[in-house]
Structure 1
Amino acid sequence: MTEHNRMPARQIIVYGDCWPVTSAVAHLVRRFLPGCNCETAYRLPVLLQQLRRKPEAILILCLRPREHLFLFYSLRQILPDYPVMIISDELFFSDRVVLKVYGGIPALLEQELAEILIRWRRDEQWAGAHACAGQERWTPFCYLRSQ
């Protein structure tokens, strides 16, 4: 996988096969990264069009990799050029093999994302929701910025 820019995410594309999960992830991205442009896609032609329009975008795939080999195969030429992350409800060994074959794509379980959000919310309540002067506030999607 190529080295990616460490600037804050400005454009994010969320693609998935399950409307509620894809919409929820897009909502969370918009909530925690308010300055970014977040778009959703549910069909491959729409995703390809968005990727062509936004070559600097981060791609979040909300799906089970083992069920979408055709998607990874069709994106095999572009995946190394984009920072990509998988969010899935379950990850089997076969999913991890697919992710390894296509460049070592990082994955996050939906449960892990929920736990991160719960911890973040709890920390925000304890801190009084004030960020330190000159310090960027931590968000559940901060790792997207460092991809």
Structure 2
Amino acid sequence: MNHWLVKSEPFAYSWDDFVKAGRSVWDGVRNYQARNNLKAMKKGDWVLFYHSNEGLAVVGIAEVATEAYPDPTIDDPRWVVVELVPVQPLKKPVTLQQIKADNRLQQIALIRQSRLSVMPIQAEEFDLILSLSNDENADE
């Protein structure tokens, strides 16, 4: 199983919007590296949902429900979508500030490639973010 992080601006599509929908086609990706990451996603992979621009925090866990297929919003076969389903919100959001402050997360793609909207993360990074969410003593 692979692990991923997807970013969404909460004013455009928030975690709450995602939960209300119950399932989402992850469309509109127009960056080749992000597209390649969508193509690499497999059904059952875990995904962290990150609020970008506003909030700047990982807020929930999703699962890949459907693997890549052509993006129905555009007539160009180069672009693909996946379908995601929400699994659960994090106990408390894990902020970008917390991630940057943790020496164990210095190689995470969220820091190294901050503009990328769909990125792979290591299983250890995924687990560490979950533990930060559950840590009552972690800095807000």
User: Which structure has the greater CA radius of gyration?
Assistant: 1
Q: Which has the higher strand share?
A: 2
TM-score, with length taken from structure 2: 0.29
Q: Which has the higher helix share?
A: 1
